[in-house]
Amino acid sequence: MVLALGLAASGCSVFHKRAKAPAPATTVAPAPAAPVAPTPVAAARDLADAMTTVLKLTPDQTGRIRTVLNGTVEQVNTARQQHPAQSPELAAALKRINISSQAELQKIMGPAKYNEFKTKQAQVQAEMARQ
């Protein structure tokens, strides 16, 4: 059965001794990237709440982290409007935004709590999904 399917798929070349001309090459333009929906500001609130639950942050830390995350969301959405999706410019802008945001979070949480955050990121994401 497998051999029969293989022969049918290959055009039964065993029985046709003539060489076939290669199919003409065609180029396909890549499909334009779908526009990326802006990240909702609620995502920053949800992430801050999840971080508070998992990391036992103080109310002051939670408020300051929420401010940083809201700013990060705004910067990301602006970068997505200014640069084409999957462009090197967008990737560089997002990397810069992420580095800046991570540095601010580390200042707010302190080194020990920030390391705990990095270790428990999967747990924070799971908590965020439950909310």
40: amino acid identity, one letter: P
**Residue-range definition of the domain harbouring residue 90:** 41-129
Does any domain span residue 123? yes
Does any domain span residue 78? yes
Instruction: State the total domains in the chain.
Output: 1
The answer to whether 74 touches 68, Cβ cutoff 8 Å, is: no
Per-residue pLDDT tens for 98-112?
A: 999 999 999 999 999
> Which phi-psi region, left, alpha or beta, contains residue 56 (left: φ > 0; alpha: ψ -120 to 50)?
left
pTM exceeding 0.85: no
Q: What does the block give as tokens for 107? A: 């200042």
Per-residue pLDDT tens for 45-85?
A: 788 999 999 999 999 999 999 999 999 999 999 999 999 99
Does any domain span residue 73? yes
> What torsion do the CA atoms of 71, 72, 77, 79 make, to the nearest 10 degrees?
110
Does any domain span residue 51? yes
Does any domain span residue 69? yes
